[in-house]
Amino acid sequence: MKISIFTLIFSMLFQWISAQERLSGLVVNPGVKNSHFNQQKLKSTQQVMTLPFFDDFSDTDGFFPKESHWTDNYVFINNDYSVNPPTVGVATFDAIDNFGGIYGQASPFPFGADTLTSVEIRLDTIFTTTTPRKINISDSLYFSFYYQPQGLGNTPAAGDSLVLEFLSPDEGRIVIIPADTVVTGTDTLYYPADTIVYETWITVWSSSGQTLSSFYNIGNKWFQQVLIHVKDSARFYKPDFRFRFRNYASLADATLPDWQSNGDQWNVDYIYLNIDRSANDQTHPDVAFASKAPNMLSRYTSMPYDQYRKQFVTEMAKNINLNITNLGAISYNASYRYEVTDKANRLIHTYSGGNYFVPPYATNGYVTEPKFANPPVDFQYPINETEPVFFTITHILNTEANLGRRSNDTIQYRQIFSNYLAYDDGTAEAGYGITPSGAEVAYRFKINQNDSLYGVNMFFNQTLSQGNIHSFYLNVWNDYFGEPGDLVYSRFGYQPVIEDSLNKFFYYELDSAIFLEPGRFPGLTFYVGWTQVNDNVLNMGYDKNNNASSNILFRTTNAWNTSLYNGALMIRPVIGQENPLSLPEKSTINEFTIYPNPARGSKVKIKTKFSTSINSNYSVFISTADGRVIYESPLSDEMDINNLPNGLYFIQLRNNNLNLGVEKLIINR
Model confidence over 22-65: pLDDT tens digits? 665 554 444 444 443 333 333 334 578 999 999 999 987 667 89
More confident residue, 199 or 637: 637
Residue 178 vs residues 190, 191, 253, 341, 486: alpha-carbon distances, Å:
10, 7, 41, 54, 70
**pLDDT tens, residue by residue, 535-583:** 888 889 999 999 999 999 999 988 999 999 999 999 999 998 654 433 3
**Nearest to residue 345, comparing CAs of 580, 625, 586?**
625
Average pLDDT value for residue range 411-415? 95
pLDDT tens digits, 484-531: 999 999 998 888 876 654 457 889 999 899 999 999 999 999 999 999
Query: Which of the four pLDDT bands, split at 50, 70 and 90, describes residue 252?
Result: low
More confidently predicted of 39 and 69: 69
Q: Cβ atoms within 10 A of the Cβ of 319, count?
A: 14
Q: How far is CA 155 from CA 151, 251, 356, 405, in A?
A: 8, 11, 38, 31
* Predicted local confidence at residue 3, as pLDDT: 29
Q: Which is nearest to 139 in space by CA: 52, 202, 235, 55? A: 52
* In the predicted structure, residue 99 carries a pLDDT above the cut 80: no
Q: What is the pTM of this model?
A: 0.77
Q: What is the pLDDT of residue 14?
A: 35
pLDDT averaged over every residue in the chain: 83
Q: What pLDDT was estimated at residue 9? A: 29
Confidence check: pLDDT of 175 > 70: no
d(CA 457, CA 43): 41
Reported as a pLDDT band with limits 50, 70 and 90, residue 591 is: low
- Given a contact cutoff of 8 angstroms between Cβ atoms, the answer to whether 626 and 583 are in contact is no
Determine which of 60-64, 101-105, 171-175 has the lowest per-residue pLDDT on average. Answer: 171-175
CA distance 40 to 182: 9
DSSP-derived secondary structure letter, 359:
P
Q: What is the CATH number of domain 592-667?
A: 2.60.40
Strands 540-543 and 430-434: antiparallel
pLDDT of residue 568: 98
State the pLDDT at residue 516.
Answer: 96
Residue 98's pLDDT is 67
Q: What is the mean pLDDT of residues 6-25?
A: 44
3-state secondary structure of 214: helix
* % pLDDT > 90, the chain: 55
**pLDDT score, position 176:** 66
- Between these two residues, 198 and 178, which has the higher pLDDT value? 178
Task: Say how far apart CA 254 and CA 112 lie, in whole Å.
Answer: 18
Q: pLDDT digit string (tens) for 142-152? A: 999 999 999 99
pLDDT band at 88 (very low <50, low <70, confident <90, very high): very high
**What burial class does residue 621 get, using C-beta atoms within 10 Å of its C-beta: 0-12 exposed, 13-18 middle, 19+ buried?**
middle
pLDDT value, residue 659: 59
State the SS3 of 7-72: HHHHHHHHHHHHCCEEEECCCCCHHHHHHCCCCCCCCCCCCCECCCEEECCCCCCCCCCCCCCECC
Whether 89 contacts 268, CB under 8 Å? no
pLDDT for the residue numbered 12: 31
Torsion of CA 250, 255, 259, 260, to 10 degrees: 30
- Domain positions in the chain are 36-166+208-280, 305-417, 422-575, 592-667
> How far apart are alpha carbons 289 and 411 in whole angstroms?
8
Output the pLDDT for position 610.
Answer: 59
Instruction: Report the alpha-carbon distance of residue 333 to residue 325 in Å, rounded.
Output: 12
Q: Cα separation of 28 and 467, whole Å?
A: 13
Residue 477: is its pLDDT beyond 50? yes
Q: Over range 352-379, report the average pLDDT.
A: 97
C-alpha triplet 173, 175, 180: angle, nearest 5°: 160
> What is the rounded CA–CA span in Å between residue 70 and residue 237?
19
Name, of 255-269, 533-547, 637-651, the range with top average pLDDT. 533-547
106 pLDDT more than 90: no
> Which CATH number is correct for 422-575, 3.30.2250, 1.20.58, 2.60.120, 1.20.120?
2.60.120
Closest CA to 265 of 83, 143, 137: 83
Q: Residue range 640-660: average pLDDT? A: 75
Question: Is there a common fold for 422-575 and 592-667?
Answer: no
Give 394 or 599, the one with higher predicted confidence. Answer: 394
Percent of the chain with pLDDT over 70: 78
Distance between CA 571 and CA 563 in Å, rounded?
Answer: 15
CATH number at 36-166+208-280: 2.60.120.260
Q: Which helix (H) or strand (E) holds 363?
A: helix 361-364
Query: What SS3 state is found at 630?
Result: strand
Longest dimension (CA), the chain: 84
Q: Domain 305-417 classified CATH 3.30.160?
A: no
Weakest mean pLDDT among 405-419, 439-453, 653-667: 653-667
Q: How confident is the model at residue 651 (pLDDT cuts 50, 70, 90)?
A: confident
Give all strands of the β-sheet with 540-543 in edge-to-edge order: 21-24, 430-434, 540-543, 568-569
Which element (helix H / strand E) includes 3? helix 2-18
In angstroms, rounded to a whole number, what is the distance separating the alpha carbons of residues 499 and 588?
11
Q: What is the mean pLDDT of residues 262-284?
A: 92
Classify 207 as helix, strand or coil: strand
Instruction: Find the mean pLDDT for residues 270-298.
Output: 96
pLDDT > 90? residue 357: yes
Query: Residue 586: pLDDT above 60?
Result: no
Question: 309 by DSSP, 3-state: which?
Answer: helix
**Whole-number Cα distances in Å, 603 to 481, 582, 643:** 57, 27, 10
Which of the pair, 431 or 624, is modelled with greater confidence? 431
Rounded average pLDDT over 337-361: 96
Question: Tell me, what's the pLDDT at 166?
Answer: 96
Q: Is the pLDDT of residue 248 over 70?
A: yes
Which of 96-100, 109-113, 371-375, 507-511: highest mean pLDDT?
A: 371-375
Phi, psi of 603 (to 5 degrees): -140, 155
Residue 6 pLDDT level (bands cut at 50, 70, 90): very low
pLDDT band at 466 (very low <50, low <70, confident <90, very high): low
